[in-house]
Amino acid sequence: MSAPPSTFFRSRWVEVPDGVTEAPGGLPDGFRAAGVAAGLKPSGNPDVGLLVCDAPNATSAARFTRSGVLAAPVVVTKERAQLDGLRAVAVNSGNANAATGGRGRDDAAKMQGAAAIAAGVPHERVAVASTGVIGVPLDTQAIVSGLARAAGQLRAEGDADFTAAIMTTDAFEKRATLDVALPGGGTVRLSAQAKGAGMIQPSFATMLCFVQTDAALSAETADLLLGVTVKRSFDRISVDGQLSTNDTALLMCSGASGVEIAPETEDELRFGQALDALLRQLALDIVRDGEGAARVGRVVATGGDGEAVERAARGVANSPLVKAALNGGDPNWGRIAQAVGGALTDTAPLAIDIAIEGVPVCARGAAVRFDEPALAERVARGEVEYVVGLPGEGFETEVFFSDLSHGYVTINADYTT
């Protein structure tokens, strides 16, 4: 990694491609955004955000939560929006508009309509997203007037305000603007605003991420790149193994730079790598900001059976015992073995290898001698890596996860609705 000193790319697990430089902020050409306080959050903090793409021929791609219990804005966006040509996004925090039935869907449609008027685009080109408390009807009047006010404040430097409006329990903002020099000679801008911190007191988790670029991408290319990079970022993290009802990730492309990203070119590769680094770092920031989190773990699983590899990695990342050991700075590899065995029932004898921070601690299912004080020192750092080797070769996966701390219990048990 030859990246310049970075304030955004903090993790050793993110590879930043050549040609990527960070800008302090600002949206790509063709985008404007704003965030206002509409009174949904009791704190009075900003809670309604609007983001608009001024290019009539904008392209886009979208990914949503796979939960069986979908929030109303997810249903409305999937059913009533043209996902490959989105030109505006309206988001509120403070209320998830989830488990709100038919009224919730009507409210989300009203929000979509109000945003269309505010942004001056057809309603089917507007995506809506919500995050916050569930089971409570949305105050659409507050949202409609908030969106009208936001429309008057839209600006190219509005990404920080927009980010503030989508935050809930986030301890820090998750936002970046990157300039990407492409091998073909062009330079494009890529920006993103995300939120997420495990889950929202007093209700549940939501991860939102909005990405913009002034590059010109076909809707198919945008969809392909978003799909691949989401799979390598937001699909690979777990704060508490709990899937939200509201998760939404959108990529919007204005084309305003005049630089086209054509399929199967060096430019597409570079752009895809930059998007990948951006989303991976944002995903890691969500884990790092996991409720009460002190450390971030990465488990890498390898083996000859892809499904077993995936289950083993998820089993480790979601084990409260492993997560508590990570919190305690405890190189307790027995919990890794136990979590893998529990995830892969009826497969004994399982000859697993385990390494922590590069130090082998278990080989073919049996303990290995290692320098315990040295390893204890390594697992007390901010990022800890576990490698689980299952028999065979050909498959490898990874999951990033937060630790389990007193802070998590405090946030989720001590404060009641």
Return the active site residues.
206
Applying the rule CB under 8 A, the residues between 332 and 361 that interact with its own copies are 332-335, 337-350, 352
**Nearest distance in Å: CB 86, its own copies:** 21
Q: Does 244 bind its own copies (CB under 8 A)?
A: yes
- As a whole number of angstroms, the distance between CA 138 and CA 136 comes to 6
Applying the rule CB under 8 A, the residues between 139 and 198 that interact with its own copies are none
Question: Closest Cα partner for 225 from 256, 263, 194, 196?
Answer: 263
Q: Does 373 bind its own copies (CB under 8 A)?
A: no
φ, ψ for residue 77, nearest 5 deg = -65, -40
- As a whole number of angstroms, the distance between CA 51 and CA 286 comes to 22
**Nearest distance in Å: CB 262, its own copies:** 33
Binding segment for its own copies (CB under 8 A), chosen from 50-58, 98-106, 157-165, 222-230, is 98-106
Using CB under 8 A, which of 52, 62, 134, 316 touches its own copies?
134
The secondary structure of 15-73 as a DSSP string is PPPTTEEEESS-PPTTEEEEEE--S-STT----EEEEEE--TT-EEEEEE---SS--HH
Q: How many residues bind its own copies (CB under 8 A)?
A: 77
- Cβ-based burial of 13 (10 A; exposed 0-12, middle 13-18, buried ≥19): middle
Question: Closest Cα partner for 166 from 286, 335, 319, 15?
Answer: 286
**Nearest distance in Å: CB 207, its own copies:** 13
Which two three-digit tokens encode residue 326?
Answer: 């990570």
Q: Does 106 bind its own copies (CB under 8 A)?
A: no
Applying the rule CB under 8 A, the residues between 212 and 241 that interact with its own copies are 240-241
Q: What single-letter DSSP state applies at residue 125? A: G
Nearer to its own copies, 57 or 410 (CB): 410
Question: Furthest-apart CA pair in the chain: how many Å?
Answer: 67
**Nearest distance in Å: CB 103, its own copies:** 8
Applying the rule CB under 8 A, the residues between 2 and 61 that interact with its own copies are none
Q: Does 321 bind its own copies (CB under 8 A)?
A: yes
Which amino acid, one-letter code, is at 352? I
Instruction: Compute the C-alpha angle 58/59/62, nearest 5°.
Output: 135
Using CB under 8 A, which of 329, 395, 396, 397 touches its own copies?
329
- Helix, strand, or coil (residue 181): strand
**Nearest distance in Å: CB 294, its own copies:** 10
Nearer to its own copies, 148 or 243 (CB): 243
Q: Does 129 bind its own copies (CB under 8 A)?
A: no
**Nearest distance in Å: CB 269, its own copies:** 31
Nearer to its own copies, 364 or 381 (CB): 364
Partnered with residue 163 across adjacent β-strands are: none
The torsion of the CA quartet 305, 307, 309, 310, rounded to 10 degrees, works out to 160
- As a whole number of angstroms, the distance between CA 309 and CA 307 comes to 5
Residues 140/23, Cβ–Cβ less than 8 Å: no
Across the beta sheet with 248-253, what order do the strands follow?
20-23, 174-181, 187-195, 208-213, 248-253, 59-64
Using CB under 8 A, which of 180, 362, 387, 399 touches its own copies?
362
Nearer to its own copies, 98 or 216 (CB): 98
Nearer to its own copies, 26 or 341 (CB): 341
Q: What single-letter DSSP state applies at residue 201? A: T
Nearer to its own copies, 1 or 348 (CB): 348
**Burial call 280-297: b when 16+ CB within 10 Å, e when fewer:** bbbbbbbbbbbbbbbbbb
Binding segment for its own copies (CB under 8 A), chosen from 43-51, 250-258, 261-269, 318-326, is 318-326
Q: Does 375 bind its own copies (CB under 8 A)?
A: no
Q: Does 409 bind its own copies (CB under 8 A)?
A: yes
**Nearest distance in Å: CB 341, its own copies:** 3
Nearer to its own copies, 126 or 239 (CB): 239
Applying the rule CB under 8 A, the residues between 68 and 87 that interact with its own copies are 68-70, 75
Nearer to its own copies, 24 or 349 (CB): 349
Binding segment for its own copies (CB under 8 A), chosen from 36-44, 113-121, 122-130, 403-411, is 403-411
**Nearest distance in Å: CB 287, its own copies:** 15
- Measure CA 196 to chain center: 7
Using CB under 8 A, which of 42, 66, 152, 373 touches its own copies?
66
Applying the rule CB under 8 A, the residues between 247 and 306 that interact with its own copies are none
Which two three-digit tokens encode residue 247?
Answer: 């998760």
